[in-house]
Amino acid sequence: MHTSGQSEPRGSSALAAFSFGMAGSVSDAVVLQYVGFETKGTVREYAFTLRGSGGESSPYFVTIANAAFVEHRVRYQDAPDICSIRLHRELATHTDHLSSSHFFVTDAELADYKSAHTPKPKPKGYADSDDKWS
């Protein structure tokens, strides 16, 4: 398994703490940690560990099809962040108990991520330099 010591996406952290429910306090927080990935056949599987406030931990796995990387629908450096977002969505939706420990990132989720993280083009006629103000 490749560890998170390798290149991680900008702006993301290997650890993410969050609380369940409205009355959550820091002591109720759980920590989601990215552990690494493995290439398994036609997918890359990203491993996470969810650590509860009581010290218990649970493994979770999120996969992305290798074809998505080859077809440039996702960048390798973005994959841990995309998988983390997917897992956070599941945890937020099912605060009592997840029905599975394995999840798959869909093409729609990849498209949404790419759209949200692609820089918007600057309007025509926009000048980057301060020359026109001199």
| 123, part of any domain | no
Amino acid at 56: E
pLDDT given at position 23: 42
Looking at the structure of the chain, the number of domains it has is 1
| 77, part of any domain | yes
pLDDT given at position 12: 39
Q: State whether residue 116 is helix, strand or coil.
A: helix
Question: CA 91, CA 88: separation in Å to the nearest integer?
Answer: 5
pLDDT given at position 134: 47
Could you tell me which of 4, 1, 12 has the C-alpha nearest to residue 113? 12
| 127, part of any domain | no
Ordered mean pLDDT values, 10 residues apiece, the chain (134 residues): 43 46 51 94 96 87 97 95 94 80 96 89 68 50
Phi, psi of 110 (to 5 degrees): -65, -45
pLDDT given at position 9: 38
CA 47 to chain centroid: 11
List Cα–Cα distances, 38 to 7, 13, 22, 67, in angstroms: 15, 19, 35, 15
pLDDT given at position 126: 63
pLDDT given at position 25: 46
Q: State whether residue 70 is helix, strand or coil.
A: helix
pLDDT given at position 108: 96
| Residue at token pair 């989720």 | 109
State the residue range of the domain holding 75.
2-116
